[in-house]
Protein backbone atom coordinates (compact mmCIF):
# COMPACT_ATOMS: atom_id res chain seq x y z
CA UNK A 1 0.00 0.00 0.00
CA UNK A 2 1.09 3.55 -0.73
CA UNK A 3 0.51 6.24 1.87
CA UNK A 4 0.72 9.80 0.57
CA UNK A 5 0.13 12.94 2.58
CA UNK A 6 -0.99 16.09 0.82
CA UNK A 7 0.23 18.90 3.01
CA UNK A 8 -0.04 22.69 3.15
CA UNK A 9 -1.82 25.66 4.71
CA UNK A 10 -5.61 26.05 4.60
CA UNK A 11 -6.61 27.13 1.10
CA UNK A 12 -3.48 25.72 -0.53
CA UNK A 13 -5.62 23.54 -2.78
CA UNK A 14 -5.23 20.21 -0.98
CA UNK A 15 -8.82 19.07 -1.45
CA UNK A 16 -8.99 20.35 -5.04
CA UNK A 17 -5.86 18.45 -6.03
CA UNK A 18 -6.46 15.39 -3.88
CA UNK A 19 -9.64 14.15 -5.58
CA UNK A 20 -8.29 13.77 -9.17
CA UNK A 21 -4.91 12.63 -7.84
CA UNK A 22 -6.51 9.84 -5.83
CA UNK A 23 -8.48 8.74 -8.86
CA UNK A 24 -5.41 8.75 -11.09
CA UNK A 25 -3.41 6.50 -8.74
CA UNK A 26 -6.32 4.41 -7.37
CA UNK A 27 -5.93 5.80 -3.87
CA UNK A 28 -8.62 6.36 -1.26
CA UNK A 29 -8.78 10.10 -0.53
CA UNK A 30 -9.34 10.75 3.17
CA UNK A 31 -10.00 14.36 4.17
CA UNK A 32 -10.37 14.81 7.93
CA UNK A 33 -12.01 18.21 7.29
CA UNK A 34 -14.65 16.58 5.07
CA UNK A 35 -15.24 13.76 7.55
CA UNK A 36 -15.69 16.30 10.34
CA UNK A 37 -18.09 18.40 8.25
CA UNK A 38 -20.13 15.23 7.57
CA UNK A 39 -20.32 14.59 11.36
CA UNK A 40 -21.46 18.18 11.88
CA UNK A 41 -24.12 17.86 9.18
CA UNK A 42 -25.39 14.67 10.83
CA UNK A 43 -25.49 16.36 14.22
CA UNK A 44 -23.59 13.48 15.84
CA UNK A 45 -22.05 13.97 19.32
CA UNK A 46 -18.62 14.11 17.68
CA UNK A 47 -19.93 16.70 15.21
CA UNK A 48 -21.31 18.84 18.00
CA UNK A 49 -17.96 18.75 19.80
CA UNK A 50 -16.06 19.59 16.59
CA UNK A 51 -18.36 22.38 15.42
CA UNK A 52 -17.41 25.02 17.96
CA UNK A 53 -13.69 24.34 17.59
CA UNK A 54 -13.76 24.42 13.78
CA UNK A 55 -15.80 27.60 13.69
CA UNK A 56 -13.17 29.23 15.88
CA UNK A 57 -10.31 28.16 13.64
CA UNK A 58 -8.99 25.72 16.25
CA UNK A 59 -8.06 22.07 15.81
CA UNK A 60 -10.22 19.25 17.09
CA UNK A 61 -8.54 16.84 19.56
CA UNK A 62 -5.90 14.51 18.14
CA UNK A 63 -7.68 11.34 19.31
CA UNK A 64 -10.84 12.32 17.43
CA UNK A 65 -9.17 12.60 14.02
CA UNK A 66 -6.87 9.66 14.71
CA UNK A 67 -9.93 7.49 15.35
CA UNK A 68 -11.41 8.56 12.02
CA UNK A 69 -8.16 7.72 10.21
CA UNK A 70 -7.83 4.31 11.87
CA UNK A 71 -11.41 3.44 10.88
CA UNK A 72 -10.78 4.51 7.28
CA UNK A 73 -7.59 2.39 7.05
CA UNK A 74 -9.59 -0.63 8.20
CA UNK A 75 -12.47 0.01 5.83
CA UNK A 76 -10.95 0.44 2.37
CA UNK A 77 -8.99 -2.56 1.13
CA UNK A 78 -9.68 -2.43 -2.60
CA UNK A 79 -7.27 0.42 -3.30
CA UNK A 80 -3.56 0.79 -4.03
CA UNK A 81 -3.15 3.16 -1.11
CA UNK A 82 -4.37 6.24 0.70
CA UNK A 83 -4.08 9.97 0.16
CA UNK A 84 -4.34 11.81 3.46
CA UNK A 85 -5.60 15.39 3.24
CA UNK A 86 -5.66 17.57 6.37
CA UNK A 87 -3.97 14.90 8.47
CA UNK A 88 -1.58 14.87 10.25
CA UNK A 89 -1.87 18.44 11.50
CA UNK A 90 0.07 18.18 14.78
CA UNK A 91 3.30 16.56 15.92
CA UNK A 92 1.33 14.04 18.01
CA UNK A 93 -0.78 13.06 15.00
CA UNK A 94 2.37 12.53 12.91
CA UNK A 95 4.01 10.32 15.54
CA UNK A 96 0.81 8.34 16.10
CA UNK A 97 0.35 7.91 12.34
CA UNK A 98 3.85 6.44 12.03
CA UNK A 99 3.00 4.02 14.85
CA UNK A 100 -0.32 3.08 13.28
CA UNK A 101 1.42 2.29 10.00
CA UNK A 102 4.34 0.49 11.62
CA UNK A 103 1.87 -1.82 13.36
CA UNK A 104 0.61 -2.79 9.89
CA UNK A 105 4.14 -3.15 8.49
CA UNK A 106 3.56 -0.07 6.38
CA UNK A 107 5.10 3.42 6.18
CA UNK A 108 4.46 6.85 4.69
CA UNK A 109 5.48 6.84 1.03
CA UNK A 110 5.83 10.60 0.53
CA UNK A 111 4.63 13.99 1.71
CA UNK A 112 3.56 16.37 -1.06
CA UNK A 113 3.61 19.91 0.27
CA UNK A 114 1.66 22.60 -1.59
CA UNK A 115 3.43 25.94 -1.23
CA UNK A 116 1.44 29.20 -1.28
CA UNK A 117 1.87 32.63 0.35
CA UNK A 118 -0.45 33.60 3.26
CA UNK A 119 -1.96 36.47 1.24
CA UNK A 120 -3.05 34.12 -1.56
CA UNK A 121 -4.49 31.80 1.09
CA UNK A 122 -6.73 34.61 2.34
CA UNK A 123 -7.97 35.48 -1.16
CA UNK A 124 -8.75 31.86 -2.02
CA UNK A 125 -10.59 31.23 1.23
CA UNK A 126 -12.72 34.35 0.83
CA UNK A 127 -13.70 33.06 -2.61
CA UNK A 128 -14.42 29.54 -1.28
CA UNK A 129 -16.62 30.93 1.50
CA UNK A 130 -19.02 32.10 -1.18
CA UNK A 131 -18.82 28.94 -3.31
CA UNK A 132 -19.09 26.32 -0.57
CA UNK A 133 -20.88 28.17 2.22
CA UNK A 134 -18.30 27.05 4.79
CA UNK A 135 -18.80 28.77 8.15
CA UNK A 136 -15.10 28.54 8.97
CA UNK A 137 -14.24 30.38 5.73
CA UNK A 138 -16.61 33.30 6.11
CA UNK A 139 -15.04 35.28 8.97
CA UNK A 140 -11.70 36.97 8.53
CA UNK A 141 -10.55 36.47 12.12
CA UNK A 142 -11.33 32.75 11.91
CA UNK A 143 -9.31 32.45 8.72
CA UNK A 144 -6.43 34.30 10.40
CA UNK A 145 -6.71 31.91 13.38
CA UNK A 146 -6.44 28.94 11.03
CA UNK A 147 -3.38 30.41 9.33
CA UNK A 148 -1.81 31.05 12.77
CA UNK A 149 -2.73 27.51 13.89
CA UNK A 150 -1.10 26.17 10.73
CA UNK A 151 2.16 28.05 11.34
CA UNK A 152 2.26 27.14 15.02
CA UNK A 153 1.11 23.51 15.08
CA UNK A 154 1.33 22.09 11.57
CA UNK A 155 4.31 23.73 9.87
CA UNK A 156 6.81 22.09 12.28
CA UNK A 157 5.92 18.78 10.61
CA UNK A 158 7.92 19.91 7.56
CA UNK A 159 11.12 19.37 9.53
CA UNK A 160 9.83 16.02 10.85
CA UNK A 161 9.24 14.65 7.34
CA UNK A 162 12.41 16.25 5.93
CA UNK A 163 14.39 14.27 8.49
CA UNK A 164 12.68 11.11 7.26
CA UNK A 165 13.63 12.04 3.66
CA UNK A 166 9.96 12.04 2.63
CA UNK A 167 9.23 15.71 2.13
CA UNK A 168 8.61 17.20 -1.36
CA UNK A 169 7.40 20.66 -2.32
CA UNK A 170 5.20 21.76 -5.22
CA UNK A 171 4.33 25.40 -5.84
CA UNK A 172 0.53 25.63 -5.78
CA UNK A 173 0.25 28.59 -8.15
CA UNK A 174 -1.13 28.56 -11.70
CA UNK A 175 -4.21 26.72 -12.89
CA UNK A 176 -5.62 23.65 -11.11
CA UNK A 177 -4.51 21.56 -14.10
CA UNK A 178 -0.96 22.98 -14.05
CA UNK A 179 -0.54 22.27 -10.35
CA UNK A 180 -2.02 18.78 -10.86
CA UNK A 181 0.50 18.06 -13.62
CA UNK A 182 3.38 19.16 -11.36
CA UNK A 183 2.15 16.84 -8.60
CA UNK A 184 1.82 13.86 -10.94
CA UNK A 185 5.32 14.51 -12.31
CA UNK A 186 6.61 14.46 -8.74
CA UNK A 187 4.74 11.28 -7.77
CA UNK A 188 5.89 9.52 -10.96
CA UNK A 189 9.50 10.45 -10.20
CA UNK A 190 9.45 8.91 -6.71
Residues that bind ligand ADP (CB under 6 A): 10-11, 14, 32-33, 36, 53-54, 58-60, 65, 86-87, 89, 93, 136, 146
d(CA 84, CA 5): 5
Q: Of the two residues 76 and 91, which places its CB atom closer to ligand ADP in the complex?
A: 91
Q: How far is the CB of 190 from ligand ADP (least distance, A)?
A: 23
State in angstroms the smallest separation of the CB of 131 from ligand ADP: 13
**Closest residue to ligand ADP: CB criterion:** 33
**For ligand ADP, the closer CB: 36 or 179:** 36
CB of 6 to ligand ADP, least distance (A): 10
Shortest spacing between CB 104 and ligand ADP, in angstroms: 19
Amino acid sequence: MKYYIIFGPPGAGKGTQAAPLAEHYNLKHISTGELLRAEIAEGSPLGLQAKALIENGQLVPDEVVEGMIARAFGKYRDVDGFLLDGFPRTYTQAIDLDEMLEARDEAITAVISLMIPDETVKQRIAHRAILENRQDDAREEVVQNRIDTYHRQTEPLIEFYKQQGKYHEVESLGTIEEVGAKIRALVDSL
